[in-house]
């Protein structure tokens, strides 16, 4: 598979205003490189993250969701990141039952000083999701059979519903 | 809406449902006499002998009010949804199955193949040595026999046809059904205005907790218990005793029937106004009562393990969060290996 045919995952990243967004900012001002696959959405706090946001992203074309926040104990709003954490583990258990691999939804803590860590985690997540292949969550079909959506132009959803497609260059 | 002074026509049909909605409707007590006075029955297979061909023979829009209960699980269900939509002026998604998918839609966690396998091949009380599975067409000496196609994904009524109103509940409470009927009757007979299209009728605006008489305190819990594991203390909020109760994320209208008798709410009345995905709200509500927190410098792996221990006391999160709303949720079904 050539470079231009490589599957580029679309990842929605939620950052908190006080730590992880600053970490992303630091990564940028320090000119650190990380893949451009993540679209960041800044929230005031990881505790603001309604699981609906994650479900909506996955149902509407995202291949993965990255949730980031301040390290435990360092939340600007004292303990809202503990709430985010409790939701995250419940959400992950639920998504596994829905057939969504746990690697597609990740929780990462990053302080305002951890630009390098932020870039590293984004890189790792993009590669993990690239290995899993497109999610292509099916829309409601007219006749009970699921349609073959192909947002990425990487073949029908049926491919993603059986075995994940592993691109050659992603193999170790 | 009635023409020529004739009585308005009422229909009630069941698709993929249990029949509980019909029982709840007939359970409105003496008001059933008023229903009989006001309406002519046009179609109601549960209580009167009508045929589909009768409905097919009606002019379009002949039925004034159609209460459609049950989810869309087969091609027959979908066919009847289209037929009744065409023949009805007001089509109501009646009860949780038609509104949100309800119990039938829990099959969306698995596949058509797995459902057929469980029902026709692996069922311990079954004798099917030749492994016969239902076929949509079967040749017979008398001619070709047909059965409706069984869908892979259970759908709600509004995912296949246009719906005018929704009535939540599994089943809807009889006093709410009567209130809904009165609203429609007032419109049909006295020209009172109908609620805007898409309105959820027969439910409140606030959470079940607001109707619940149990005493609540601001209290968090280390883990959840299943109903058989503990005996709840009477008069005290079930959630703060560790029993899963979905009342905080469910709209009221039922009178908090289940929590009153010591059984946590399971969310059959659906989400609160403005909520897109009830399961996500249930998840948030339950996560907020878990007492795991920490302090600066705590080991993050240890903390994650404690959170996981607490959430693992909910053995079937997807089935719990979407007990009644799987088909209507953002994901609406699970991704499974044999997706057909």
Give the domains, in start order, of chain B with CATH numbers.
9-104+154-190 (3.40.50.700), 114-151 (no CATH), 208-321 (no CATH)
pLDDT of residue B339: 53
- DSSP 8-state assignment for residue B126: -
Return d(Cα B313, Cα B222) in angstroms, integer: 10
Query: Which residues in chain B are contacts of A141 at CB distance < 8 A?
Result: 153
For B90, residues 6+ apart whose C-beta sits below 8 A from its C-beta are B64, B65, B66, B164, B165, B184, B194
Q: What is the value of pTM for the model shown?
A: 0.89
* CB atoms B296 and A82 under 8 Å: no
**Closest of B169, B173, B179 to residue B35, by C-alpha:** B179
Q: What is the mean pLDDT of chain B?
A: 94
A69, A41 contact by CB (below 8 A):
no
Q: What is the mean pLDDT of residues B9-19?
A: 96
Candidates A60, A83, A87, A160, partner chain B, best to mutate (most B CBs within 10 A): A87
Q: Which of residues 267-286 of B touch A (CB under 8 A)?
A: 276-277, 279-281, 283-284, 286
Q: What is the mean pLDDT of residues B275-300?
A: 92
Candidates A88, A94, A111, A162, partner chain B, best to mutate (most B CBs within 10 A): A94
Q: What is the mean pLDDT of residues A128-157?
A: 63
| Distance to chain A for B24, nearest Cα, Å | 30
Q: For residue B229, what are its two tokens?
A: 């594991």
At B273 the three-state DSSP class reads coil
pLDDT bin (cut points 50, 70, 90) of residue A147 is very low
Candidates B106, B314, B335, partner chain A, best to mutate (most A CBs within 10 A): B335
pLDDT bin (cut points 50, 70, 90) of residue A152 is very low
* CB atoms B281 and A87 under 8 Å: no
pLDDT at A165 over 90: no
| Distance to chain A for B168, nearest Cα, Å | 21
B318 in reach of chain A (CB within 8 A) = yes
pLDDT at B1 over 60: no
B295 in reach of chain A (CB within 8 A) = yes
pLDDT bin (cut points 50, 70, 90) of residue B5 is low
Candidates B16, B224, B283, B306, partner chain A, best to mutate (most A CBs within 10 A): B283
A44 in reach of chain B (CB within 8 A) = no
A100 in reach of chain B (CB within 8 A) = yes
* Predicted complex: ipTM over 0.90: yes
B42, B63 contact by CB (below 8 A):
yes
| Distance to chain B for A2, nearest Cα, Å | 28
Q: Is B169 left (phi over 0), alpha (psi -120 to 50) or beta?
A: left
Instruction: Concatenate the DSSP letters of all residues of A11-39 into one string.
Output: EEEEEETTTHHHHHHHHHHTT----TTEE
B219, B243 contact by CB (below 8 A):
no
Q: What is the mean pLDDT of residues B225-229?
A: 94
Return d(Cα B310, Cα A118) in angstroms, integer: 28
pLDDT at B76 over 90: yes
Q: Which of residues 186-245 of B touch A (CB under 8 A)?
A: none
pLDDT of residue B56: 97
At A96 the three-state DSSP class reads helix
Pick the CATH number of A8-170 from 3.10.100, 3.30.200, 3.40.1350, 3.40.50: 3.40.50
Q: Which among B279, B294, B334 is the nearest to A72, CB-wise?
A: B294
B328 in reach of chain A (CB within 8 A) = no
Q: What are phi and psi of B289, to 5 degrees?
A: -95, -5
Query: Which residues in chain B are contacts of A91 at CB distance < 8 A?
Result: 283
Q: What is the mean pLDDT of residues B61-70?
A: 96
Query: Which residues in chain B are contacts of A79 at CB distance < 8 A?
Result: 293
pLDDT at A151 over 50: no
A78 in reach of chain B (CB within 8 A) = no
A72 in reach of chain B (CB within 8 A) = yes
pLDDT of residue B158: 96
Chain A residue with Cα closest to B72: A144
pLDDT bin (cut points 50, 70, 90) of residue B188 is confident
B336 in reach of chain A (CB within 8 A) = yes
pLDDT of residue B276: 94
pLDDT at B65 over 90: yes
- DSSP 8-state assignment for residue A128: H
Query: Which residues in chain A are contacts of B317 at CB distance < 8 A?
Result: 90, 93-94, 97
Q: What is the mean pLDDT of residues A79-95?
A: 95
B323, B283 contact by CB (below 8 A):
no
pLDDT bin (cut points 50, 70, 90) of residue B198 is very high
B159 in reach of chain A (CB within 8 A) = yes
pLDDT of residue B218: 86
Q: What is the mean pLDDT of residues A20-46?
A: 96
* CB atoms B295 and A97 under 8 Å: no
**A106-to-A66, A70, A136, B25 alpha-carbon distances in Å:** 5, 14, 18, 47
A138 in reach of chain B (CB within 8 A) = yes
Q: For residue A159, what are its two tokens?
A: 């491919």
Q: What are phi and psi of A68, to 5 degrees?
A: -130, 155
Q: What is the mean pLDDT of residues B117-125?
A: 92
Looking at chain B, the whole-number percentage of residues with pLDDT higher than 70 is: 98
pLDDT of residue A1: 59
């Amino acid at each position: 598979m050539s470079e231009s045919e490589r599957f580029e995952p679309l990842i929605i990243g939620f950052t908190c205003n006080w730590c992880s967004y600053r970490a992303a900012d630091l990564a940028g001002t320090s000119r650190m490189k990380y893949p451009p696959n993540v679209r960041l959405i800044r929230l005031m706090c990881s505790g603001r993250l309604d699981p609906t946001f994650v479900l909506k992203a996955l149902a509407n074309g995202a291949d993965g969701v990255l949730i980031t926040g301040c390290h435990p104990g360092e939340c600007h709003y004292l303990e809202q990141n503990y709430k985010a954490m409790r939701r995250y583990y419940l959400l992950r258990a639920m998504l596994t039952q829905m057939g969504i691999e746990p690697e597609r939804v990740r929780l990462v803590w990053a302080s305002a000083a951890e630009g390098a860590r932020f870039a590293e985690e984004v890189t790792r997540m993009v590669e993990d999701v690239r290995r899993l292949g497109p999610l292509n969550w099916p829309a409601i079909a007219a006749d009970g059979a699921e349609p073959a959506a192909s947002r990425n132009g990487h073949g029908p959803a049926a491919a993603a519903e059986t075995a994940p497609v592993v691109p050659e260059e992603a193999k170790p | 809406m009635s023409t020529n002074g004739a009585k308005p026509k009422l229909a009630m049909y069941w698709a993929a449902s249990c029949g509980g909605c019909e029982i709840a409707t007939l359970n409105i007590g003496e008001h059933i006499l008023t229903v009989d006075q006001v309406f002519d029955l046009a179609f109601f297979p549960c209580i009167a002998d009508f045929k589909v061909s009768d409905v097919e023979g009606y002019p379009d829009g002949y039925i004034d009010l159609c209460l459609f209960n049950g989810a869309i699980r087969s091609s027959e269900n979908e066919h009847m949804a289209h037929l009744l939509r065409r023949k009805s002026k007001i089509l109501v998604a009646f009860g949780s199955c038609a509104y949100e998918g309800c119990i039938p839609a829990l099959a969306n966690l698995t596949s058509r193949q797995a459902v057929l396998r469980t029902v026709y091949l692996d069922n311990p009380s079954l004798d099917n040595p030749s492994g016969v599975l239902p076929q949509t067409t079967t040749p017979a000496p008398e001619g070709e026999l047909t059965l409706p196609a069984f869908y892979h994904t259970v759908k709600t009524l509004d995912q296949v046809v246009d719906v005018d109103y929704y009535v939540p509940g599994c089943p809807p409470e009889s006093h709410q059904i009567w209130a809904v009927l009165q609203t429609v009757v007032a419109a049909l007979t006295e020209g009172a205005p109908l609620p805007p299209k898409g309105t959820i009728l027969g439910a409140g605006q606030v959470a079940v907790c607001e109707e619940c008489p149990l005493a609540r305190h601001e209290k968090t819990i280390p883990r959840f218990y299943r109903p058989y594991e503990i005996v709840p203390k009477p008069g005290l909020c079930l959630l703060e005793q560790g029993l899963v109760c979905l009342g905080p994320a469910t709209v009221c209208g039922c009178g908090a029937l289940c929590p009153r008798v010591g059984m946590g709410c399971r969310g059959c009345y659906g989400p609160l106004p403005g909520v897109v995905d009830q399961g996500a709200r249930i998840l948030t509500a339950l996560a907020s009562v878990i007492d795991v927190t920490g302090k600066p410098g705590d080991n993050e792996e240890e903390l994650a393990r404690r959170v996981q221990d607490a959430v693992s006391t909910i053995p079937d999160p997807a089935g719990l969060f979407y007990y009644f709303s799987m088909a209507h949720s953002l994901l609406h079904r699970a991704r499974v290996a044999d997706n057909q």
